[in-house]
Amino acid sequence: MAELSAETGVPVATVKYYLREGLLPAGRRVGPNQAQYTPEHVKRLRLVCALREIGGLSLAEVADVLGVLDAGRAARVVLGVAQDGRVTVRPVSAAARAWALGRVGELFGAPADDTDPAVANLVTVLAVCHGLGHDAVSGKLAEYAALAREVAAVDAALIDDVGPSRRPAETALITTLLGERLFAGLRHFALVDALGAAPAEA
């Protein structure tokens, strides 16, 4: 276990905790108090840490995601489970919520179903922007959606490129959860550049 900890940078106590919680499979027993861990354990531990620390999922949510991933479910199912754990819960007025639902419905060309976690997140963000007096954000929703489709096309091509040996669902999960943080950083620098300011400036 010390070697597993050293290779991943995860404290031994955390490794033990993940083992107890079933997020990490047990190693092969080679002695009374010793177990042997493989490169697959290293990969799994790194995935758990990535989902927790960068993806922002709770331990229970990580367990749910790993469960459908290990079951060989389709990428769409894995992404749906991951999205379930990322619903932004924020109290908004009924009027703001109804307004936001209308804007999302206009985008989809049909009434929006906010029981879908992804739709619920869209509605909540737009409702909060509405409450802050930034309704202009909703005016750019179609443009944002068009850009999102372009990004999704890049993600889909990446998933195809890695092939079935790398588990497409896992690649989709990584490009979505971790890719959001990656894209946020790229977007920041692009916006700074568009505004004509250097990143170091206040």
Structural domain spans, the chain? 2-53, 94-195
Task: Find which of 90-94, 101-105, 167-171 is predicted with most confidence, using mean pLDDT.
Answer: 101-105
Residue that is written with structure tokens 């949510």 in the block:
61
The answer to whether 4 and 42 have CB atoms below 8 angstroms apart is yes
pLDDT (average), residues 51-67: 89
98: left (phi over 0), alpha (psi -120 to 50) or beta: alpha
SS3 93: coil
Residue that is written with structure tokens 């932004």 in the block:
88
Name residues whose C-beta falls within 8 Å of residue 26's C-beta, 6 or more positions apart in sequence: 19, 35
Q: Rounded to the nearest 5°, which phi and psi values hold at 84? A: -55, -35
Q: Is the pLDDT of residue 168 over 70?
A: yes
Q: Is the pLDDT of residue 85 over 70?
A: no
Instruction: Give dist(CA 145, CA 41) in Å, integer.
Output: 38
pLDDT of residue 200: 57
Q: Is the pLDDT of residue 77 over 60?
A: yes
Q: Is the pLDDT of residue 201 over 80?
A: no
Indicate the pTM of the whole model: 0.76
pLDDT of residue 17: 92
Q: Is the pLDDT of residue 202 over 60?
A: no
Name residues whose C-beta falls within 8 Å of residue 84's C-beta, 6 or more positions apart in sequence: 61, 64, 117
* C-beta neighbour count of 142 within 10 angstroms: 11
Give per-residue pLDDT as tens, 125-160. 889 888 889 989 889 999 999 999 999 898 888 888
